[in-house]
């Protein structure tokens, strides 16, 4: 069985989608529809920058989604490979869960773009700039990372945000607590702690104001039926019910991204092939989690053509 997966924040870069847009009217239509939905020329920022504008959370989230959906639409419409016919489930990392829902028809493209822009704005404004931080713990498993976070908290928030793969865990919380955690990594047998260049402490309890805003938005915009099952970030389990998924999307804002467990569960459930659309961030993680699985990253037209020929 085959899983299609969608990348999260950090996979953006200036120039993303340019080759697809130049080669395919289908891709251009996706970028134009997102621009119209947001009343903002996001495609121009994706194409030309400046980089600091693209990395703004409210721009990066819909941009990464738009690039991945453009890649999917080109695969489906230009190469005739339909996700619902060749795939058996979907999953996405953080904002990628929204992309996955768009890919299986639970949200239309314009709705997904608007939800992600709001999500980016809400997450950015939940904590004043400079008060929060995130750090990647390299050479850490979930148990050592959890112990380190608890030791570094000292009355502040310091929580596991992303369990990415067997050797990489991300923590999130108050800046002081995250800095303490980085200083304490060797004491916990962790190779290294790296402060991440993010503007807010995502996926921790400090994001509750953002979760509240997303709860309001999703109350008015519930996902529709899913063409394929989705493995949700916060449970690492298969979801088919739109109402259950709506609640999980709210919980996801403050909850841990259980990516390692999601991939491990998919693999245990019989998924032997993983295809990343619009990025190559998740593929290396998947190889560390399920080293026997086949993986592919589809970014450029040549990747899509080769994948279509293999079907």
pLDDT digits (tens, 9 = 90+) for 209-236: 999 999 999 999 989 999 999 999 999 9
Taking alpha carbons only, the member of 107, 114, 158, 116 closest to residue 137 is 158
Q: How crowded is residue 42: how many other Cβ atoms within 10 Å of its Cβ?
A: 23
Q: Domain check: are 114 and 243 in the same one? A: yes
Residues 24 and 117 grouped into a single domain: yes
Shared domain for 164 and 293, answered yes or no, is no
* Total domains present in the chain: 2
Based on the domain organization, do 266 and 177 belong to the same domain? no
Given 148, 170, 198, the domain boundary residue is 198
Range of the domain at 286: 2-126+206-310
Instruction: Write the pLDDT tens digit of every residue in 36-91.
Output: 999 999 999 999 999 999 988 999 999 999 999 999 999 999 999 999 999 999 99
Same-domain pairing of 146 and 179: yes
Q: What residues are labeled active site?
A: 94, 203
Q: How confident is the model at residue 198 (pLDDT cuts 50, 70, 90)?
A: confident
Helix axes 57-73, 109-125, angle to 10 degrees: 160
Mark whether 280 and 168 lie in a shared domain: no
Boundary-marking domain end, from 182, 198, 214: 198
Instruction: Give the pLDDT score at 181.
Output: 98
* Mean pLDDT confidence for 280-295: 96
37 and 165 share one domain: no
Pair 175, 247 in one domain:
no
CATH number at 235 reads 3.40.366.10
* Separation of CA 287 from chain center: 17
Asked if the model's pLDDT at residue 158 lies above 90, the reply is: yes
Do 143 and 217 sit in the same domain of this protein? no
Cα–Cα distance for residue pair 90/4, rounded to 1 Å: 5
pLDDT tens digits, 170-190: 999 999 999 999 999 999 999
Say yes or no: 191 and 296 in one domain.
Answer: no
Residues 158 and 274 in one domain: no
Domain with 182 in it: what CATH number? 3.30.70.250
Query: What does residue 46 show for φ and ψ, rounded to 5 degrees?
Result: -60, -40
- Average the pLDDT over 122-135 and give the result: 94
Domain end marker among 170, 198, 226: 198
Q: Is the bond leading into 50 cis (omega within 30 degrees of zero)? A: yes
Same domain, 185 and 253: no
């Amino acid at each position: 069985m085959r899983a299609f997966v969608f990348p999260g924040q950090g996979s953006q870069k200036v120039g993303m989608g340019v080759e697809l847009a130049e080669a395919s009217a289908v891709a251009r239509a996706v970028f134009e529809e997102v621009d119209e939905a947001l009343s903002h020329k996001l495609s121009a920022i994706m194409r030309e920058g400046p980089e600091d504008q693209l990395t703004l959370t409210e721009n990066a989230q819909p941009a990464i989604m738009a690039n991945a959906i453009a890649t999917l639409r080109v695969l489906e419409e230009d190469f005739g490979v339909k996700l619902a016919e060749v795939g058996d489930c979907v999953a996405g990392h953080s904002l990628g869960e929204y992309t996955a829902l768009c890919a299986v028809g639970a949200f239309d493209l314009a709705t997904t773009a608007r939800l992600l822009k709001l999500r980016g704005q809400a997450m950015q404004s939940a904590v004043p700039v400079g008060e929060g931080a995130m750090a990647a713990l390299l050479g850490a498993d979930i148990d050592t990372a959890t112990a380190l976070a608890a030791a570094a908290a000292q009355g502040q928030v310091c929580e596991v945000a992303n369990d990415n793969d067997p050797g990489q865990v991300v923590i999130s919380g108050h800046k002081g607590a995250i800095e303490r955690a980085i200083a304490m990594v060797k004491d916990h047998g962790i190779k290294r702690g790296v402060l991440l260049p993010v503007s807010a402490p995502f996926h921790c309890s400090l994001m509750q104001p953002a979760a509240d805003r997303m709860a309001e938005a999703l109350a008015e915009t519930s996902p529709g039926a899913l063409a394929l099952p989705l493995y949700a970030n916060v449970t690492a389990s298969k979801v088919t019910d739109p109402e259950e998924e709506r609640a999980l999307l709210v919980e996801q804002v403050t909850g841990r991204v259980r990516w390692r467990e999601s991939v491990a569960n998919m693999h245990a459930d019989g998924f032997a092939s993983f295809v990343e659309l619009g990025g190559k961030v998740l593929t290396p993680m998947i190889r560390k989690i399920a080293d026997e699985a086949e993986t592919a990253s589809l970014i450029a037209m040549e990747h899509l053509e080769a994948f279509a020929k293999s079907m």
